[in-house]
Amino acid sequence: MAGLFVTLEGGDGSGKTTQAALLEAWLVERGETVVRTREPGGTDLGLELRQIVLHRKGHIAPRAEALLYAADRAHHVATLVRPALERDEIVLQDRYIDSSVAYQGAGRVLGADEVRELSLWAAEGLLPDLTILLDLDVRLGRSRLDVARTEYDRLEAEKDDFHSRVRQAYLDLAAAEPTRFLVLDASQSVDTIAASIRARVAELRG
């Protein structure tokens, strides 16, 4: 498949949105066609599922939560991501399979392998060419989030031990697939992080 599939991962407050915007602007300046998207919520159906999974009041069983994310992913990949890659475009995505493995597999303690298999089935095996992991201390991420939010979604509102499991799961994923992951210290300056990301993307896209 042509195109380039880049995902950004990391805990809450790690700066994914900022870095995605900077990378998109740089790629567009280079003449690339960029599809910037997110999970959940990259399609009309995804927006409805996002509202349910992140903002619905009341309890959602962990397995049901994982299945809702998988449903969003299946539709998103089939209707937006794969078509863009087939057109040789760059897909720049906030969260993907690794988020499910970290948040539902480790955070919700459903099991990383089981959640990964579910996600891969939903995505028909599609993995990113590059995954940028913005790694940040949980408490620092929380302090950043506290400045930016007046209310928190269902995952942001979880306790520190949940987010610590998520962070460790991300680091384990990166260690297992070092060629796919670019792990960056998210406490660095915005410009320093952006430069490292541009350098890696330039290697892949030429």
Query: Would you write out the chain's pLDDT as a tens digit for each of its 206 residues?
Result: 689 999 999 988 899 999 999 999 999 999 999 999 999 999 999 999 999 988 888 889 999 999 999 999 999 999 999 999 999 999 999 999 999 999 999 999 999 999 999 999 999 999 999 999 999 998 887 777 766 555 666 677 677 888 999 999 999 999 999 999 999 999 999 999 999 999 999 999 97
Q: 10 Å Cβ neighbour count for 192? A: 11
CATH code of 4-205, in short, is 3.40.50.300
Q: What does pTM read for this prediction?
A: 0.92
Q: Report CA-CA distances (Å) from 43 to 11, 80, 100, 104.
A: 23, 8, 18, 21
How far CA 3 is from CA of 9, 81, 114, 180, 185, in Å, comes to 20, 10, 29, 16, 27
pLDDT value for 152? 64
DSSP 79: I
Instruction: Give the pLDDT score at 9.
Output: 98
What was the pLDDT predicted at 151? 65
Residue 178, preceding peptide bond in cis (omega within 30° of 0) = no
The pLDDT, as a whole number, for residue 153 is: 67
* pLDDT for residue 148: 58
- Distance CA(127)–CA(152), nearest Å, equals 29
Using a 10 angstrom Cβ sphere, with 0-12 exposed, 13-18 middle and 19 or more buried, the burial of residue 180 is: middle
Nearest-angstrom CA–CA distance, 81 and 85? 6
